[in-house]
Amino acid sequence: MKVRKPPFPSAGLFGTCETFQPEVGKELYAWAKQLFPLHRSLTGKGNLETLRFIQTKVPGLKIKALKSGTRCLDWVIPPEWNVQDAYILDPRGKKIIDFRKNNLHVMAYSEPVDKRLTLNELQAHLYSLKNQPTAIPYLTTYYKKRWGFCLSHQQRKKLKPGMYRAVIQASKKNGNLVYGELLLPGKSRKEVFLSTYICHPSMANDQLSGVVVLTALARWLSHCRQRNHSFRLIWIPETIGAIAYLSQNLKKMKKQIRVGWQLACLGDPGPFSFLPSRQGDTQADKISKKILGENGKSFRVWSFLKRGSDERQWCFPGVDLPVASVMRSKYGAYPEYHTSLDNLSFVRPKSLGEAYHLYKKILGLADENFYWRIKTIAEPNLGKRNLYPDLGTKDTAAAIESLSNVIAFADGSTSCVEIAERCKIPALECVKILRLLRAAKLVTAVSGG
């Protein structure tokens, strides 16, 4: 741990991060509603439209592009895929499957097609879920050329023999993979890193919840004066996007990121859950668990073995950024996942609002999470600094116990969240005490973490 003096942890995010703003949930839901119909994938116009929408809320957002064919570590940026229209006509010429009604109907990255086929021939290109007969599944074929339609099993069973026409008017050509990035400089160049993905079509929890919560956090962070840390936020296609980002920024990320979170699945009514980093005991893990533990409700803890989003890259062996995930119901762990049932009825304004509020506290703590060191050699004289009751009674010991305990663990190698854990006090109370001690010039923040 280097003992270089970090910037004065003054205003920071603390002071606004605790305030619950119940109206934000509704606003987030309204954003999700606007973003829902856009046709997103690894690439394509829907992604750009999504980022432009975010830009209306967070003007500082930069939209960046990576060209198709660019090599990124073990991968290559795929061609840009856009769908103009897609449908199936039944033997009578009636449009029975329509991409314009639900963009899940087209398997992502399908080849273009315009073909007449028998029902039997068509079946080889249809995908449905027997166990969830009303749901349209979400399928992708990013790296293998094929075409397909997804539909509910209910609808599929009704199809009668005859000649059908399957049309996908789509293009796959050189273009761009786009993503959004926002850097909010703080007193320190050390960064808090936040990431979410933007590559899913019309699904609400496993896509838009992360997008809108991160957007709201970006707006809040933009308005916080005196951030102690810099904040770097990205909205990026999953896997290939994250890998491409890593390939360009790994060295800088390893040097600058102090803690980070991968945002996903924050809008359903389920309880919060936590998925640790690969190492499991980074400051991001500790901050997450401390804030979740103080949230008044139990939360589920997932094994890292059950990860599934871009923490796969951020926590890849050797990369090992201190990035954790706080979610509601985890991707893959709820029945509506990756189907048309993960829609705007599945997510709730209240759930989105609570998630936003929880992340504000997480970031508020992260921004203060220095390693603190007491400057005196033995206990300081708190009385002469008006930090101690001047009348020694039986009860004063209890009154200053927390203060005295925070001092006892401010040894320069224990972070703010760890001090709070050791002292068995709420994290934000610990922040308050450390600010008090800092104002009295009794503690100093040492860098590290």
Q: Which stretch binds its own copies (CB under 8 A): 3-11, 67-75, 97-105, 155-163?
A: 67-75
CB of 39 to its own copies, least distance (A): 17
DSSP reduced 3-state for 91: coil
DSSP 351-389: HHHHHHHHHHHHHHHHHH-PEEEE-SSS----GGGT-S-
Q: Binding its own copies by CB under 8 A: which of 1, 3, 30, 73?
A: 73
Q: Using the rule CB under 8 A, is 346 a contact of its own copies? A: no
- Residue 28 or 315: the one with the smaller Cβ distance to its own copies is 315
- Residue 338 or 357: the one with the smaller Cβ distance to its own copies is 338
Question: Considering only residues 385-424, where is the footprint of its own copies by CB under 8 A?
Answer: 390-394, 397-398, 401, 404-405, 407-412, 422-424
Q: Using the rule CB under 8 A, is 281 a contact of its own copies? A: no
Whole-angstrom distance, CA of residue 87 vs CA of residue 93: 11
Contact 187, 7 (CB under 8 A): yes
- Residue 4 or 394: the one with the smaller Cβ distance to its own copies is 394
Angle at 300 between CA 294 and CA 303, to 5 degrees: 120
Q: Using the rule CB under 8 A, is 142 a contact of its own copies? A: yes
Whole-angstrom distance, CA of residue 350 vs CA of residue 96: 36
Which tokens is 343 given? 């829609």
Q: Using the rule CB under 8 A, is 302 a contact of its own copies? A: no
Whole-angstrom distance, CA of residue 317 vs CA of residue 376: 41
Whole-angstrom distance, CA of residue 233 vs CA of residue 61: 9
Question: Considering only residues 194-223, where is the footprint of its own copies by CB under 8 A?
Answer: none
CB of 414 to its own copies, least distance (A): 9
- Residue 322 or 380: the one with the smaller Cβ distance to its own copies is 380
Whole-angstrom distance, CA of residue 252 vs CA of residue 230: 13
Contact 164, 116 (CB under 8 A): yes
Question: Considering only residues 349-388, where is the footprint of its own copies by CB under 8 A?
Answer: 373-374, 376-381, 383-384
Whole-angstrom distance, CA of residue 325 vs CA of residue 315: 11
Q: Binding its own copies by CB under 8 A: which of 312, 350, 435, 438?
A: 312
Per CB under 8 A, residues contacting its own copies are 73-75, 108, 127, 129, 137-144, 239, 242-243, 246-247, 250, 278, 304-308, 312-313, 315-319, 332, 337-339, 373-374, 376-381, 383-384, 390-394, 397-398, 401, 404-405, 407-412, 422-424
